Structure 1
Amino acid sequence: MLVKLNTENIVAVLIFLFFFVYPVLVDAYSVMNLAYFLSMVFLSLSLSLIWGYCGIFSFGQAVFFGISGYFYAVFTLNSGITTLTPLGLILGVLIGGVIAWILGYFMFYGGVNDVFVGLITLCLTLVLETFMGQTAGDQWMIGQVNLGGFNGINSIPSLQIGSFILTGNSFYYFVLLILLAVFIFLKWFEFSKLGIAVVAIRENRERTKLLGYNVPFIQSLVFAMGGALASLSGIFYVLWGNYITPSAFGLASATIPVVLVAAGGRKNVTAALLFTVLYYWFSQTLSASGSEYALIILGLVLIVAILFVPKGLIASLFHAGDQLFFREHSKSLLRKKGVKTL
């Protein structure tokens, strides 16, 4: 795949360069804050994959986020062996992906699509949040771990590779490197044969089916991939704070990535990444000043985006940048080759 010179790709390179040098410029507290922001980017990317690429609108990414986080906590605390934490991470991601595939299988092979997928995943989110909030008693023990009800699970082990514990800058760069790998994969996937089929399903599901593609299988596969990404986000969140509560399944947790992806540009993973980081930075800045208006402002931004820039604020800025800087450049190249332009 040839890398196209455009505004989005230039911004993506600059963003990752900034992320890599950021720990050199700031203190340890700011580094861990950005590590948290990057952890939540995976949740937005999971929705950008299934909704932006495949057209599957889901309110259930928080389900996989929370399930994997709880699984990692229960697995590592029960094992008591810190060197098994990487296994807990891998199994947590796989379990989240498998659960998403099973759910997707029953939905898509059952003919469930469009708004009904959103309703089913929303109901699942509400059910799990309510259930996990009632798990405070001793009867809700898994091995030696109490699920903790609304208090959740605390003192969850950090990730340890061999004798090396990933904390501080090491944890930050670990998250960043995986984010870079996922980002590159998604950019490649968009233009792969399977990715083109996925986009075709988004544009016209019935026509794609008539062309011979197994649409329910592709939808289930993409939904599973999105579930795995959301699961990775949940485990990184747990590793960042060493705790998890039922709020991970909450309505706010399910809604925020939907709004971020819609407002930034759901068909553009760079826009989703950038808008997510900007939102969490802005939200934390307001919280530090005693203000809790971040969600209100985010809602207003979404309304503006839907009314005036339905393709997303960041994605529209990328398009404007291409029109401003690269359209004339392309025309000049064509003129040198003797091709007439309008």
Structure 2
Amino acid sequence: MTLKTENVVAVLLFIGLFIYPLFVNPYQVMNLSYFLSMVFLSLSLALIWGYCGIFSFGQAVFFGVGGYFYAIFTMNSQLSTITPIGFILGILAGGVVAWILGYFMFYGGVNDVFVGLITLCLTLVLETFMGQTAGSEWKIGQVGLGGFNGINGIPTLQIGSLSLTGNNFYYFVLMILLIVFGLLKFLTHSKFGSSVIAIRENRDRTRLLGYNVPKIQSFVFAIGGALASLSGILYASWGSYITPSVFGLTSATIPVILVAAGGRKNFTASVIFTLLYYWFSQALSASGNQFALIILGLTLILAILFVPDGIVVALFNWCDHLFSRNKGKVKLEKGNLHEEKIS
């Protein structure tokens, strides 16, 4: 069995994330909690686009659906102990919305660039609609939608008597990320994952082999929606607020750029590049984080021109090639030494 650079880096990354709070202050821990929450959004797109070939701008929609659902549900209940139920139902809500949208698209024969156009339009429509909900008449139960100001005072997650703040929230997010990462790796290496990849490579041939392509696409799209919704719920719980900007064009575009530049067919690459971007964006926040978007855009252009498989994936492949070449040299030297001893 060949040991790949990707697997080594993934193990070291998670070990580093687990021990990170031991060496930094609580502020830095909460920052990384936010970064990790956004990783699920990238993973959702890596799954549907990188593995199933469904290009979508709609992950921001499901992100917002999850965040708003969690906020409205928990604030109407007025019980912090009910937040886990809102957490689970919010994830399911994003998955169901994604499945319904995917059902009409894929069974209706909509694919390729048209999926991107439909999801982009849906993103813009929702941002515009949520932005004009500032009036007192825009309420769900006792919770006002707040227009462009959004919803504030969202309860943090609480499991029993344990409030998930600080290190507790960090390790909660990290454990979920580890579980989701493992499940995605298992899913994509299973028989079902092979059918998903087959659809990405050639939908018509996969259909001729007897697979129900729209059904598989709808299911994968629903999983992607649930993951994006999970990201939105964690974001809302982390900051105790959510605004219509989560539906915006920038919010819809950033995951696409991160996944494309890092490596859309590799979950580890998506995780690493997402964490690097948000860390870099925050590092530039004092001088204006708009420069982070400019640099990210330039990075994507360079990646498309020179490393279309992704920057992080290219580094993985280079390290694997270097290791295999050195390993071949060692074997050759051992073989020559053995021949000399025999002679």
* Pairwise TM-score range, normalised by the shorter structure: over 0.9
Matches within 5 A, 1:52-201: 52-201=50-199
Using the TM superposition, give the Cα deviation of residue 335 of structure 1 relative to its aligned residue in structure 2, in angstroms: 9.9
Per the alignment, residue 269 of structure 1 pairs with: 267
Amino acid at match of 1:122: L
Match of 1:318 among 316, 331, 336: 316
Residues 54-110 of structure 1, C-alpha deviations (whole Å, 9 max, x = no match): 000000000000011000000000001111000000000001001100100000000
Where does the alignment leave 5 or more consecutive residues of structure 1 unmatched? 338-342
Q: 2 CA distance for matches of 1:125 and 1:312?
A: 26
Residue 186 (structure 1) shift: 1.1
Q: Deviations over 1:182-235 (max 9, x none)?
A: 111111111100001000000111100100000000000000000000000000
Name the SS of the counterpart of 1:139 in structure 2: coil
Moved over 4 A (4+): 330-337
Q: Deviations over 1:230-283 (max 9, x none)?
A: 000000000110000000101000000000000000000000000000000000
Q: Identical aligned pairs, as a percentage? A: 73
Counterpart of 1:258 (choices 252, 256, 264) is: 256
Structure 1 SS opposite 2:290:
coil
SS of 2:183's partner is: helix
Q: CA contact under 8 A between 1:93 and 1:231: conserved in structure 2?
A: yes
For the 8 Å contact 2:282–2:289, the answer to whether it is kept is no
Q: Report which stretch shifted further, 285-294 or 263-272.
A: 285-294
RMSD (Å) for aligned C-alpha atoms? 1.6
Distance 1:334 1:62 in 2: 53
Q: Which runs of 5+ in 2 are unaligned?
A: 336-343
Aligned partner (choices 13, 20, 23) of residue 22 of structure 1: 20
The residue type equivalent to 2:70 in the other structure is: Y
* TM-aligned CA deviation for residue 111 of structure 1: 0.3
Q: How many residues align?
A: 336
| AA in 2 matched with 1:40 | M
Look up the equivalent residue of 2:22 and give its one-letter code.
V
- Name the aligned partner's letter for residue 47 of structure 2: L
Q: TM-score, normalised by structure 1?
A: 0.95
Native 8 Å contact 1:6 1:326 kept in 2: no
User: 2:56 aligns to what SS in structure 1?
Assistant: coil
Cα deviation for residue 306 of structure 1 reads 0.5
CA contact (8 A) 2:90 2:233 kept: yes
Output aligned runs, 1:190-339, within 5 Å.
Answer: 190-290=188-288, 292-329=290-327
Q: Distance in 2 between matches of 1:225 and 1:163?
A: 30
